[in-house]
């Protein structure tokens, strides 16, 4: 289990200023990239064109482990990824995707571990159950002033509706746009599961397979602010009521388009703490 250290505590105390938030998010986040393995030339393609560039975010939770979303590496993108993690690179210390930076370091991935769900993970065209995964790096990250591990919640820790939390990523800033070159963040309130179910009732009536599960966190507001494509896997961060630390409470999972009036859905980290600790402690 990741101990909440004094170095991270000092970093989090700077969250009252926008520049400090940017620095903290830069420390938390990582940018997975898939190497180009086949050639493309205009509209002609050799074999299958492979994904290249930023695909998802994640959180560094120890020197060797990244917490992210399962759907980034499951069949929705490329089923061969979990069998060939060498095609994936994790970058830590990144802020600007288009500019080399002093603290950014690329790391090869040793293995991809997706949560072993017994449910049908793609129950419908919207939702993903148990949308959580861990990446083990081939070599540990060297911590410094700008690269520190994120804190995880305590077991049973509760984050109530109305609490304002922060989500971050390099995702698109509007539907169909390019990924953001810089790491961005928004502050959004948590929504109770009961209220979330009420909001999604029309969709659940239209598609009975879609449900709001206890392992989900709902968050959003009426100001058209939301995570979007390519933010997946990144962190939702809330301030702990136990010790005041900012911790990774959720993993960005899915939504109905972007800022469409429906809340965003996040994977609730506390629902998977046993699995995370069992995997990362070995």
The pLDDT value recorded for residue 90 is 87
Catalytic residue at 84?
Answer: no
The pLDDT value recorded for residue 218 is 93
Catalytic residue at 131?
Answer: yes
Catalytic residue at 232?
Answer: yes
Q: Residue 122 has which token pair?
A: 């793609």
The pLDDT value recorded for residue 39 is 20
Q: Under CATH, to which class is 164-270 assigned?
A: mainly beta
The pLDDT value recorded for residue 228 is 57
One DSSP character per residue, 21-78 reads HHHHHHHHBEEEEE---S-EETTEESS-PPP-EE----EE-SSSEEEE-GGGTSTTT-
The pLDDT value recorded for residue 245 is 86
The pLDDT value recorded for residue 250 is 94
As a whole number of angstroms, the distance between CA 229 and CA 232 comes to 7
Q: Residue 22 has which token pair?
A: 């940017």
> What residue ranges do the domains of the chain occupy?
164-270
Task: Write down the catalytic residue from 54, 59, 62, 71.
Answer: 71
Task: Write down the catalytic residue from 74, 130, 131, 226.
Answer: 131
The torsion region of residue 150 among left (phi > 0), alpha (psi -120 to 50) and beta comes to beta
Taking CA atoms, 241 is separated from 60, 157, 166, in Å, by 22, 8, 15
The pLDDT value recorded for residue 260 is 61
Ordered per-residue pLDDT tens for the chain, 282 residues? 344 543 333 333 333 333 433 333 333 333 343 332 222 222 222 222 344 567 788 899 999 999 998 888 765 556 666 777 888 888 888 777 777 777 888 899 999 998 987 655 445 444 578 999 999 999 999 998 888 899 999 998 889 998 999 887 776 555 666 666 667 777 889 999 999 888 888 877 777 777 889 999 999 865 555 555 556 888 999 988 888 888 999 998 877 666 567 788 899 999 999 999 999 997
């Amino acid at each position: 289990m990741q101990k909440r250290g004094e170095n991270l505590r000092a970093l989090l105390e700077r969250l009252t200023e926008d520049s400090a938030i940017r620095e903290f998010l830069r420390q938390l986040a990582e940018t997975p990239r898939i190497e180009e393995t086949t050639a493309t030339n205009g509209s002609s393609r050799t074999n299958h064109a492979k994904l290249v560039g930023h695909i998802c975010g994640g959180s560094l939770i120890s020197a060797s482990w990244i917490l992210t979303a399962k759907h980034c590496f499951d069949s929705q993108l490329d089923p061969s990824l979990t069998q060939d993690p060498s095609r994936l690179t994790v970058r830590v210390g990144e802020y600007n995707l288009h500019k080399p930076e002093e603290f950014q370091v690329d790391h090869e991935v040793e293995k991809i571990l997706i949560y072993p769900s017994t449910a049908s993970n793609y129950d419908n065209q919207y939702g993903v159950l148990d949308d959580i995964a861990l990446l083990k790096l081939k070599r540990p990250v060297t911590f410094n002033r700008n690269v520190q591990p994120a804190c995880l919640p305590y077991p049973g820790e509760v984050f109530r509706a109305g609490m304002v939390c922060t989500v971050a990523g390099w995702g698109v800033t509007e539907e169909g746009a390019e990924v953001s070159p810089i790491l961005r963040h928004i502050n959004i309130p948590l929504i109770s599961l009961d209220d979330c179910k009420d909001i999604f009732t029309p969709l659940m009536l239209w598609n009975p397979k879609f449900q709001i599960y206890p392992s989900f966190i709902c968050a959003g507001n009426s100001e058209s602010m939301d995570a979007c494509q390519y933010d997946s896997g990144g962190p939702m961060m809330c301030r702990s009521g136990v010790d005041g630390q900012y911790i990774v409470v959720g993993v960005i999972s899915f939504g109905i388009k972007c800022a469409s009036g429906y809340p965003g859905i996040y994977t609730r980290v506390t629902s998977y703490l046993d699995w995370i600790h069992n995997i990362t402690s070995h």
